[in-house]
């Protein structure tokens, strides 16, 4: 049984707020799969092609950021007791702006439209800025500041840094000001997005969800206390070193040497997580743990690829290197953990909301489905296998695009279609039970009125 004693839904948003983010993510996944099916090998020629940049932002903004934002809007009031102010309005507006802005940004990449690019930057920028302000207000109101809250604070600041760098790069301001080495600045943008925003948020959330949902021991206290702040400070130092390399003050190898220590920190986190999973009380692995374990195993894989590229110029300057590293990070780590989170968070929120409503109405005649009844293990396991096939095909496509690119698109489409179907089934079962509870309450009120 889950320990929900310290959880509170008193100030949580309506379940429709996080659900709209969760349901939108696989739609962007389907769009990304469609690009793979249509363009195929062209997406794996270089990281700089407009199509590849569009695909990357479908995955990062459309899927990863979408799920992370929805999870934060729900988790802050439930786990930290600090609601996001005006959460319904903020959640709705941010979802609309980020969704439409991401779609417009991809359109701008593919079409080269300057107007589309400007509209996309305004929409995405406004949506993320509103999200940042609202979430930071909630984070600073937290009375009991835990390691999770500190990590989330730092990740949200990283999200803002990622946004500001993206706006500067997308607007062309840096080029107009005479900045060279745009590729290095893009690396800084990606670093803050993947390692800062996504990496630190995953670390912070895992301190709560891994012991809670996977029934493992707690993370070591020193790791929880120091890892996220050390990584954030390390990212700031790395950024300064990168700027030094761009300006010619430092050798370009200095930032890479420093990044080795940052990479080591993430590998340490992954190894500790895997060790905790081996010590879990439940020996039968569920889908969440399988997804999460896949993501943790890919962290050292990404580290190995990155080290090989920095030690060997033949590997580092190969067009395959950045694509292989990108697929390993975005799909192998990011998408794996995101999928795993959805399969626990969505059933848990559905059950938790319904149980609280059942208790408030004192209605024991209406059965609330347990967590496994919202999404069947069979359907979730099938989606996990389809995802693994998509991941394997995408990795091979970075080396042999002509053979595997379309296959990766096919498996990724099937995986996201099934993920969407599983989430919709959970939502429908939630609504059916909620309707039954409300009907019971209405019937009880009618009976009381007749008696009186």
Is residue 415 within 8 Å of 390, Cβ to Cβ? yes
Query: Is pTM beyond 0.85 here?
Result: yes
Dist. CA 41–CA 46, nearest whole Å: 10
Dist. CA 181–CA 35, nearest whole Å: 29
Dist. CA 387–CA 256, nearest whole Å: 32
Q: Span 16-441: which CATH code?
A: 1.20.210.10
Is residue 13 within 8 Å of 373, Cβ to Cβ? no
Token code pair at residue 45: 């020629």
Residues 6+ apart with CB under 8 A from 61: 28, 98, 101, 102, 105, 124
Token code pair at residue 412: 């990724």
Dist. CA 269–CA 184, nearest whole Å: 27
Per-residue tens of pLDDT for the chain, all 452 residues: 344 444 555 567 888 999 999 999 999 999 999 999 998 899 888 888 889 999 999 999 999 999 999 999 988 887 777 888 899 999 999 999 999 999 999 999 999 888 998 999 999 999 999 999 999 999 988 888 889 999 999 999 999 999 999 888 887 765 555 555 677 888 899 999 999 999 999 999 999 888 888 888 999 999 999 999 999 999 999 999 998 888 778 877 898 899 999 999 999 999 999 999 888 876 677 888 899 999 999 999 999 999 999 888 888 888 889 899 999 999 999 999 999 999 988 998 888 888 887 777 777 777 888 888 899 899 999 999 999 999 999 999 999 999 999 999 999 999 999 999 999 999 999 999 888 888 877 776 666 555 55
First to last CA, the chain: 42
Q: How far lies 338's CA from each of 236, 361, 384, in Å?
A: 26, 34, 12
Token code pair at residue 192: 């803050």
């Amino acid at each position: 049984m889950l320990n929900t004693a310290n959880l509170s839904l008193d100030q949580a948003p309506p379940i429709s707020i996080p659900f709209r983010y969760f349901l939108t993510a696989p739609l962007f996944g389907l769009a990304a799969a469609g690009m793979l099916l249509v363009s195929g090998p062209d997406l794996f020629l270089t990281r700089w092609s407009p199509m590849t940049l569009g695909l990357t932002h479908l995955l990062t903004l459309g899927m990863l950021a979408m799920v992370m934002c929805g999870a934060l809007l729900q988790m802050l009031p439930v786990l930290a007791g600090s609601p996001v102010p005006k959460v319904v309005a903020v959640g709705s507006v941010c979802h609309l702006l980020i969704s439409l802005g991401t779609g417009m940004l991809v359109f701008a990449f593919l079409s080269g439209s300057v107007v589309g690019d400007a509209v996309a930057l305004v929409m995405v920028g406004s949506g993320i800025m509103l999200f940042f302000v609202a979430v930071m207000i909630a984070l600073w109101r937290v009375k009991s500041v835990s390691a999770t809250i500190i990590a989330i604070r730092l990740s949200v600041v990283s999200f803002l840094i990622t946004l500001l760098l993206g706006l500067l790069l997308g607007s062309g301001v840096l080029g107009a000001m005479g900045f060279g080495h745009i590729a290095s600045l893009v690396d800084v943008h990606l670093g803050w997005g993947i390692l800062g925003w996504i990496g630190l948020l995953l670390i912070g959330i895992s301190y709560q969800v891994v012991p809670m949902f996977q029934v493992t021991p707690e993370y070591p206290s020193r790791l929880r206390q120091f890892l996220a702040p050390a990584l954030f400070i390390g990212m700031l130092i790395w950024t300064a070193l990168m700027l030094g390399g761009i300006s010619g003050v430092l050798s370009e190898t200095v930032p890479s040497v420093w990044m080795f220590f940052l990479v080591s920190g993430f590998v340490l986190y992954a190894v500790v997580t895997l060790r905790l999973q081996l010590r879990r009380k439940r020996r039968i692995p569920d889908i969440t743990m399988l997804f999460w374990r896949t993501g943790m195993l890919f962290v050292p894989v990404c580290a190995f690829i990155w080290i090989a590229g920095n030690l060997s110029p033949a590997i580092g300057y190969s067009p395959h290197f950045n694509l292989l590293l990108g697929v390993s990070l975005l799909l192998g780590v990011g998408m794996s953990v995101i999928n795993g989170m959805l399969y626990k968070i969505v059933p848990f929120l559905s059950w938790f909301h319904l149980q609280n409503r059942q208790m408030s109405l004192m209605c024991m005649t209406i059965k609330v489905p347990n967590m496994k009844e919202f999404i069947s293990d069979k359907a979730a396991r099938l989606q996990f296998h389809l995802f693994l096939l998509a991941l394997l095909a995408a990795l091979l496509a970075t080396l042999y695009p002509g053979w595997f690119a379309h296959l990766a698109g096919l498996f990724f489409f099937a995986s996201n279609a099934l993920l969407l179907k599983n989430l919709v089934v959970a939502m429908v079962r939630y609504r059916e039970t909620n309707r039954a509870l409300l009907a019971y309450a209405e019937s009880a009120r009618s009976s009381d009125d007749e008696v009186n």
